[in-house]
Amino acid sequence: MKMAFHTLFGALAASTMLTCAAQAEDTKVGVLQSLSGTMAISEVTVKNAELMAIDEINAAGGVMGNKIVPVVEDGASDPAIFAQKATKLITDDKVATVFGGWTSASRKAMLPVFERTKNLLWYPVQFEGNECSPNIMYSGAQPNQQIVPSYDWAKAKGYKKMFLVGSDYVFPRTANLILKKHIAKDGLTMAGEEYVPLGGTDFSAVIAKIQAAKPEIIMSTLNGDSNVSFFKQLAAAGLTSEKLPVMSFSIGEQEAKAMGTELVKDSFAGWNYFQSLPGEANAKFVKDYQAKFGADAAITDPMVHGYLDVYAWKAAVEKAGSFDPDKVRAAAVGLKFPSPMGDVEFAANQSLVQPALVGKLKADGQFEIVWQSEGAIQPDPYDPVAFPGKSCKLH
């Protein structure tokens, strides 16, 4: 009932807006996430957050008086389809910009499309860096805003012997390459490095190797369902979080809830946002989202980035006074705008300046923030320790 009232109210508000701004045109934007396939679980929530931001903006009068019309497309967890649908959004639907993508594979496939058409993609997920395109705004964390700070935190906590476990794809392998360089530089010990195919469920050999190597902490870049198997089999082998802590880079509130917190309780995670983040802006965002999608909906880091991307675009369009992607991306640099994470801005390399957090998972599925970087960290796509001499200059 409450839901119905909310929707009704929203619709009323939107229609009043429409009549008020009768002269204004519609501006189309693309929302391109996987609605089917293996990535749909995660990406649908980002789509929801992006659409919610668009609704809010429309309810508040649109962008420069124009109503924003989202065109939603399904990337189907397939990079070639992402490229195909991005082309469709830009050439057929003539969208002003596109919000979307999750896997690096999808972003890599879309990149040439955006560069060729000189359009702009807002990408909401943490990734492995090593990319610098003028036609992409990277709001998810660069390695130096998530992996490296979490490693520094573990190092400061006195963990000296680290074991790296990951799903077998680009982000874990690159993240671990960076970690290995840091471990070598800092004189810590690499206890081992293991990869399991995406979706893999048998960790018997990996755990046997962990037991043989006796690390002090595990740095995990395992993805999705593999986490459940890993934690289950770790517990079955008697390796509880007290004996051997795990720091994960891909477990958020949603994953923890799905896995059953019993299993992952007391493990650590590194992100830039947690649902438990204090502050009024976040409280409002969480409340609004849950009013729309259910009181127990989990809020995760990529969702917030998808949401704030839309607001960043709005702020930049209004500053530039134009929907032209080139002017928008220039205007976005250094422009502060409000978000659930507080006021943030994009750096000259078109990545978001943001703080890093380390959380410890509690029994209720929320993270207790145990550490926060001193202020926001400037993004750097090329980790200076692992890839010296590389830099990204766009403006």
Partner 1 sequence: MPKYLSQLWIVALVLAVAAPWLISSYELSLLGRFLAMAILAIGLVLLWGEAGILSLGQGVFFGLGGYAIAMHMKLVSLPEGELPDFMMWSGLDALPWWWVPFANPVFALVAVVALPAIVGALFSWLVFRRRIVGTYFSLITQALALCFATLLVSKQDVTGGFNGLTDFKTLFGQDLASPGAPIALYFVTLGFVVLAFLGARWLIGSRYGILLRATRDGENRVRFLGYNTTPYKVVAFAIAAALAGLGGALFTLHAGVISPALVGVVPSIEMIVWVAVGGRYSLWGAVAGALIVNFAKDEISSALPEAWLYVLGAVFILVVTLLPRGIAGLVRDLAGRRALVATKPQEVQK
Partner 2 sequence: MMDLPLLVGQVFNGFSVASLFILATLGLALSFGLMRVINMAHGEMLMLGGYLAYLTFLLVPGPLAILIALPVAFLGAAALGAVLEVTVIHRLASRPLDTLLATWGVSLILQQAARSIFGAIGVSVTAPGWLNHTISIATGPLAGLTLPATRIFIMVVAVAVLLALGLFITKSRIGLLVRAVNQDRMMAAASGIDVRRVDLVVFSLGTGIAGLAGVVLALLGPVTPSVGQSYIVPAFLVVVLGGLGSMVGTTVAALILGMVSALSQIFLDVSTSQVLVLLFVIVFLQFRPQGVIAVRSRALED
Give me the residue label for tokens 């926060």. Answer: 372
Q: Which of 11, 211, 283, 336 binds partner 2 (CB under 8 A)?
A: 211
DSSP three-state, residue 265 = coil
- Nearest approach in angstroms of CB 39 to partner 1 is 10
Strand partners, 344: 337
Q: Is 177 in the site for partner 2 (CB under 8 A)?
A: no
Q: Which of 1, 2, 4, 238 binds partner 2 (CB under 8 A)?
A: 238
Cβ(333)–Cβ(353) under 8 Å?
A: no
Q: Which of 8, 20, 205, 370 binds partner 2 (CB under 8 A)?
A: 205
Q: Is 229 in the site for partner 2 (CB under 8 A)?
A: yes
> How many residues lie near partner 2 (CB under 8 A)?
34
Q: Name which of 178 and 206 has its Cβ closer to partner 2.
A: 206
Q: Who's near 61: CB < 8 A, 6+ residues apart?
A: 17, 20, 21
Say how far residue 44 (Cα) sits from the centre of its chain: 13
Report the partner that residue 111 touches, choosing among partner 1, partner 2, none (CB closer than 5 to 8 A by kind): partner 1
| Inter-helix orientation angle 104-117/170-186, to 10° | 110
Nearest to 384 by CA among 155, 142, 172: 142
Q: Name which of 145 and 226 has its Cβ closer to partner 2.
A: 226
The Cα 30–Cα 313 span in angstroms is: 12
Q: Is 186 in the site for partner 2 (CB under 8 A)?
A: no
Contact positions toward partner 1, by CB under 8 A? 35-36, 40, 73-74, 76-80, 83-85, 87-88, 91-92, 103-105, 108-109, 111-113, 116, 128, 130-131, 168-170, 173-174, 177, 195, 197-198, 386-387
Q: Is 206 in the site for partner 2 (CB under 8 A)?
A: yes
Q: Residue 284: which H helix or E strand, with range? A: helix 280-293
Give me the residue label for tokens 């090329």. Answer: 382
Amino acid at 178: I
Enumerate binding residues for partner 2 (CB under 8 A): 38, 40-41, 168, 194-197, 199-202, 204-206, 208-209, 211-212, 225, 228-229, 232-233, 235-238, 254, 258-260, 262-263
